[in-house]
Structure 1
Amino acid sequence: MKIALHWQILIALMLAALMGSWAGTDKAIFGVLWLSVFTFIGTLFLNALKMIVVPLVVSAIITGVANIGSQGGFGRLGAKTVGYYLMTSSIAIIVGLTLVNVIHPGVSGNGVPVLHTDAEVMQAVQGKSAGDIVEVFLRMIPVNVVNAAATGQMLGLIFFSLLFGYFMTRIQSDFKQTLSQFWNGVFEVMMLITQWVMKFAPIGVFGLVAASIAKTGFDQFENLAMFFLTVTLALGVHLFVVMPILLKTIGKVQNPWLHYQAMAPVLLTAFSTSSSSSTLPVTIESVEKRAGVSNRISSFVLPLGATVNMDGTALYECVAAIFIAQMFGISLDWSTQLLIVIVALTTSIGVAGIPSASLVAISIILVAVGLPAEAIGLLLVVDRLLDMMRTAVNVFSDSVGAVIIARTEGETNVLTEKHF
């Protein structure tokens, strides 16, 4: 009998809590500190995540942008769709950014940093901030793309990938086909490698969490509870406040709550599977049959949304990065937080629609602002349930987009009482 991945991770977390608290920083085996063993295991997993970051994100963005650009009849419908997705993802990030700065889930009651850092990390973060918004945009254009990939300058690499994907659709068809096949092949291979790496997530989680508990005990779990509440509250605001307002104001829907009734099967499927890709068939069926959106709209908006529209994921990435900075006692100025927003917005495009894929994106953000990627281990304690929640938000936002775009395209038979 095969145990599901999330149960494996849960078992690993419990074992890590027991082993980490027992070993502490002084117990050893055969002369080797248990802490060193935990750190070695966790570092191997982190290195595997870092290994797949560049090729996965580059291939995902290039293929995603190229597919958008090659859609037949892109025109007005495509512009509305992309505009909606950019708007809602930006709003989601702003909601998360606001709440994490108001609640401060990573700050301890006595003001002492929960996690220990050193001058090198502090200098790296401050070096990333630069104190000037101009520096953030200068990093978007790398002097050397290969060097940007080697040094983890993801913002510039993402910008280059966006350009490459766009202009790939503007060249001769034979060259375009060759490049498209190549990058789609790279993306498929990287997806398989990502899924393979995630099979070792329980072992990596064990090492990361056990090392953290061995060094700091259970001090950080109060902060993790606050982090969980902060993300949950932010997702709730986006789902139950922002979405109805958009349906009412832009979509001119008289009763936005009808959409929640229509999308009940979608929300349940997304929550249980943690995969927007797996939920897509249910989403299309519900949007067409229960909400009354035409196939012309749903067949374009929803598959695209399952690929590039990740409101909940972008929100989570942003909150997670700032939470980790707070745990280390590092204050991020507004330009660094803007850098996090930009990277969260762009990396959410390249996040695969599979469970826990956002861990890769979070590691990108941490590297971009100079924070230690090892802190990902803390998030894994609460990641599974939050993954289920943010996937539901991702998919629901796609369905709202289909309704709004259908209404702006003149469809009047959308979310009417006769569908229920």
Structure 2
Amino acid sequence: MKKLPAHWQMLIALILAASTGWLFRRLDNAGSGEFISAAVATCEFIGNLFMQALKMIIVPLVAASIIAGIAGLGNVKGFGKLGLKTLGFYSMTSLLAILVGLMFVNVLEPGRTNGEANREIQAAFDREHEQASEANLAKVESANSKKGSDFVDIFKKMVPPNIFAAASNNGQLIGLIFFSILFAIAMTSLPARQMEPLLGGVSALHEVMVRMTQWIMVMAPIGVFGLLLPVVYETGPELFLSLGKYFLTVLLALGTHLFITMPLVLKLCGNVNPWAHMKAMRVALMTAFSTASSSATLPETMVCVEENSGVSKRVTGFTLPLGATVNMDGTALYECVAVLFVAQVMDIPLGLVAQFGIVLTALLTSIGVAGVPSASLVAILIILNNSGIPNANVAVTALLAVDRLLDMTRTAVNVFGDSCCAVVIAKSEGESLKV
């Protein structure tokens, strides 16, 4: 009997998790609380175990990929050009994503009704803030303590005192990437008799980590089920009904960027078949959606781009870890929509100049945001506070209640954007791809 493909297994797991979570919520309301709570806790444990397994292999995989890719060239000629092309691509696609979000939020105006601020959503904001869990309130309070100047610390993160501790801390990979690049450059300066054994060991380590990734992904359907079920169970429909237009606006904007903007970029910039590449990335996209973490998805993203799209280890090892750290198309888009939505609800008019400031701030704050769930919360609060919009804490607490499903969607957009960069850069480097 032919084995069911991995992407179908994960899709079935997503559907089963959503339907089971909805059923558990109905049964809980009918008085089956203890059994349901135990079942949900078990699923949450399994999902967290799967996440930890993915995170466990990030550090050695990223380090081995970058070092093997750069040192394998024998010299660093053209490496600076590769870096500039990668950063240029990421900046361009993030800006395009923000402009898409800006267009949708201005056209649909989810925070207004008949041109007036929506009072029902204002009331929902207040009600949700009063009923918010202590965990959510603590998240908002912690995020509110951050300032725009804190993002300058990204340069300090590039040179951490302990690279492994830094990489393990909330998915901040920038220090590990910087160290790996320096290590690879230093390797190329060694005599061949010293470098070759070291390169052979690093390349072997990369192959081992890829094999471990494949082993872990065998359990992906179970892990996906465990991650999604508690989300569906815990997220009630009441706030979604109040914020339905906002929810739809974000999804439409993310969908437009995923299915229209990025395919056009692939075709125009790299002459790549966008649908063939999207097909190659199916498992990684489903993993990103279920985990809501671009960092946790990174191992599978690298495997899909290398094995399915045919990108070399050199390009994959540099572009994807960097993208998981600094390229957040979906996050930047979401930040823009969320801030303007809150401004509309609070009846704060924002002209073109103010909106351009929000676009610029969203672009800058999306860089270096940790690839973990709800990390954009910090950026949203910074933008709201800098824009002088009142009751930012109340609004963000309400948005946090419906954020998980949106976070899952924008993470998939983030991951696809990273993979598009890898194939376009590979094409520009003269590589022959499978897509």
**Both proteins in one fold, TM over 0.5:** yes
Deviations 1:277-315 (A, max 9, x none): 111111111101100111110010001101111000110
Instruction: For residue 317 of structure 2, give the secondary structure of its aligned residue in structure 1.
Output: helix
Instruction: For residue 370 of structure 1, give the secondary structure of its aligned residue in structure 2.
Output: coil
Tell me the residue number matched to 1:79.
Answer: 84
Tell me the residue number matched to 1:108.
Answer: 113
Matched AA of 1:319: V
Q: Distance in 1 between matches of 2:251 and 2:404?
A: 13
Matched AA of 2:422: A
Q: 1:395 aligns with which of 415, 422, 427?
A: 415
Tell me the residue number matched to 1:227.
Answer: 246
Tell me the residue number matched to 2:311.
Answer: 293
- State the shift of 1:240 in Å: 0.4
Tell me the residue number matched to 1:250.
Answer: 269
Matched, 1:181 2:161: yes
Q: 2:300 aligns with which of 282, 286, 289?
A: 282
Q: Which runs of 5+ in 2 are unaligned?
A: 1-16, 30-65, 124-143, 173-229
Q: 1:93 aligns with which of 92, 98, 107?
A: 98
Q: How has the CA–CA distance of structure 1 residues 112 and 93 changed in structure 2, closer, same or farther, with 3 Å as cutoff?
A: closer
- State the shift of 1:110 in Å: 6.9
- State the shift of 1:331 in Å: 1.0
Matched AA of 1:102: V
CA contact (8 A) 2:331 2:376 kept: yes
Q: Distance in 1 between matches of 2:161 and 2:260?
A: 42
CA contact (8 A) 1:89 1:345 kept: yes
Q: 1:239 aligns with which of 254, 258, 261?
A: 258
User: 1:20-419, aligned counterparts within 5 Å?
Assistant: 73=76, 74-109=79-114, 111-114=116-119, 154=148, 158=151, 160-161=152-153, 164=155, 180-181=160-161, 224-253=243-272, 255-371=273-389, 372-415=392-435
CA contact (8 A) 2:325 2:371 kept: yes
CA contact (8 A) 1:152 1:367 kept: no
Deviations 1:98-145 (A, max 9, x none): 10000000002472442669xxxxxxxxxxxxxxxxxxxxxxxxxxxx
Instruction: For residue 270 of structure 2, give the secondary structure of its aligned residue in structure 1.
Output: coil
Q: Distance in 2 between matches of 1:189 and 1:413?
A: 35
- Dislocated runs of 4+, deviation >6 Å: 182-192
Tell me the residue number matched to 2:201.
Answer: none
Q: How has the CA–CA distance of structure 1 residues 307 and 153 changed in structure 2, closer, same or farther, with 3 Å as cutoff?
A: closer
Q: Distance in 2 between matches of 1:354 and 1:86?
A: 21
- State the shift of 1:95 in Å: 0.2
Deviations 1:190-235 (A, max 9, x none): 879xxxxxxxxx9xxx9xx9xxxxxxxx7x8655100110000000
Q: Distance in 1 between matches of 2:352 and 2:103?
A: 12
Matched AA of 1:86: S
CA contact (8 A) 1:280 1:302 kept: yes
Q: Distance in 1 between matches of 2:362 and 2:280?
A: 30
Q: How has the CA–CA distance of structure 1 residues 335 and 188 changed in structure 2, closer, same or farther, with 3 Å as cutoff?
A: farther
Tell me the residue number matched to 1:49.
Answer: none
Q: Distance in 1 between matches of 2:145 and 2:280?
A: 47
Matched AA of 1:180: P
Report the TM-score when normalising by structure 2. 0.58
Deviations 1:13-63 (A, max 9, x none): x9xxx9xxxxxxxxxxxxxxxxxxxxxxxxxxxxxxxxxxxxxxxxxxxxx
- State the shift of 1:180 in Å: 3.1
Which range is displaced more, 348-357 or 308-317? 348-357
Q: Distance in 2 between matches of 1:276 and 1:362?
A: 19
Deviations 1:64-121 (A, max 9, x none): xxx9xxx98440000011001000000000000010000000002472442669xxxx
Q: Distance in 2 between matches of 1:329 and 1:222?
A: 21
Aligned residues: 284
Q: Distance in 2 between matches of 1:93 and 1:413?
A: 29
Tell me the residue number matched to 1:120.
Answer: none
CA contact (8 A) 2:270 2:423 kept: yes
Q: Distance in 2 between matches of 1:190 and 1:298?
A: 22
- Aligned CA RMSD, in angstroms, stands at 3.4
Matched AA of 1:289: E
Q: Distance in 2 between matches of 1:344 and 1:337?
A: 10
Deviations 1:129-162 (A, max 9, x none): xxxxxxxxxxxxxxxxxxxxx99761x554x546
Q: Distance in 2 between matches of 1:107 and 1:413?
A: 47
CA contact (8 A) 1:262 1:291 kept: yes
Q: How has the CA–CA distance of structure 1 residues 409 and 385 changed in structure 2, closer, same or farther, with 3 Å as cutoff?
A: same
Q: How has the CA–CA distance of structure 1 residues 88 and 407 changed in structure 2, closer, same or farther, with 3 Å as cutoff?
A: same
Q: Distance in 1 between matches of 2:368 and 2:410?
A: 16
Instruction: For residue 116 of structure 2, give the secondary structure of its aligned residue in structure 1.
Output: coil
